[in-house]
Amino acid sequence: MPTVLERLNYALQHALETDERVYVIGEDLLDPYGGAFKVTRGLSSRFPQRILTTPISEAAIVGISNGMALRGLRPVAEIMFGDFVTLAADQLINHAAKFRWMYDDQVRVPLVVRAPMGGRRGYGPTHSQSLEKLFLGVPGLRVVAPNSLADPAELLEYAILQDDGPVLFIEHKLLYTRALLEPGGDELVDWEVHKPEGGYPTITLRVPGVETPQLTIATYGYNFELVRAAAHELMYEHEIFPEIVLFTQLSPFELEPLFEALRRSKRLLTVEEGTLTLGWGAEVAARAAESDLPGLKVRRAAALDMPIGSSKPIEDGSLPSQAEIVRLALELAQ
């Protein structure tokens, strides 16, 4: 199977081929370098006029992309490290997310901003974060994250070609080298996968034959890898059978598939790599609580509320681990 990176690269290439309004804009995108994480490799050789390499100017990268989108193009901006998206926060929040509504629905902003997030590579406090939580709940801005199961190419192409609003597209760095999971393949042998139609599907993974799962694990992005490993451990070492709800759209929050699962399990564990406080899981948990499910119990796995260290023991110690997911799951299942 192809890797996530290959699928993202293919999506950009295919979008550029399909629609001449598509432009890719960001730092160090040109071949032979092809971008810091190589997602744009080969594109500038094939589309030299439409791959725009820029100075180190995140506000202008996103701002210029905003203007291009407002005037009928479909730009895809790359933020080299997702941590740098704070430099473009004004453009995302006060411009891209506002234009359509504040101009009374008279304009569209078909913009995609791709941001590689996440740690576990030793890059230290400012190159390892998962900052997407800062952009959740911004009206007018969609936040999307691919994973190894929902084809990242389909997600990215949909965002570029079909979505007329701004999309912040969160790519965890560790996903790039992961091969896509094959339905029916070894990695998914324990699971029955329900993937609905739609641009940003919420996927449910159930253990065949288990009518009442002992807990529901909600997650997105790279953390699905950890959750799968933790689920394996729970099943084979503890005889606890979870259900996994895997989101591709983080914001706006559309949680009905999760509530549907919680009606059976009544136990919710959210797993994310951002810091715990006011994170994605906090909002998911609050909404689950408001759904008045009797006897609902909740735990959240997330990074500790501290900066991410460069040294491996410090970094690993602050980010949610398989062991932590198992520990919280056992608490819930008791």
Query: Could you list the residues that contact other proteins (CB under 8 A)?
Result: 23, 52, 54-55, 57, 59-60, 62-73, 75, 90-91, 94-95, 98-99, 101-104, 106-107
- For the bound state, the minimum distance from the C-beta of residue 17 to other proteins, rounded and expressed in Å, comes to 17
Task: Kindly state the smallest distance separating residue 75's Cβ from other proteins, in Å.
Answer: 8
Nearest distance from C-beta of residue 60 to other proteins, angstroms:
4
Choose between 71 and 212: whose C-beta lies nearer to other proteins.
71
Closest separation in Å from C-beta 57 to other proteins: 4
Q: For residue 71, which phi and psi values (nearest 5 degrees)? A: -100, 25
Kindly state the smallest distance separating residue 61's Cβ from other proteins, in Å: 8
Q: CA-to-CA distance for 152 and 159, rounded, in angstroms? A: 10
Q: Beta partners for 143?
A: 168, 251
268 forms beta bridges with: 216, 298
- What single-letter amino acid sits at 255? L
For 21, 53, 174, 177, the CA distances from 2, given in Å and listed in that order, are 27, 27, 15, 9
Which residue's CB is nearer to other proteins, number 12 or number 231? 12
Q: Which helix (H) or strand (E) holds 116?
A: strand 112-117
Which residue's CB is nearer to other proteins, number 70 or number 149?
70
Place of tokens 């400012």: 126
Q: Which is nearer to other proteins, 90 or 331 (CB)?
A: 90
Radius of gyration for the chain, computed over Cα atoms and rounded to the nearest angstrom: 20
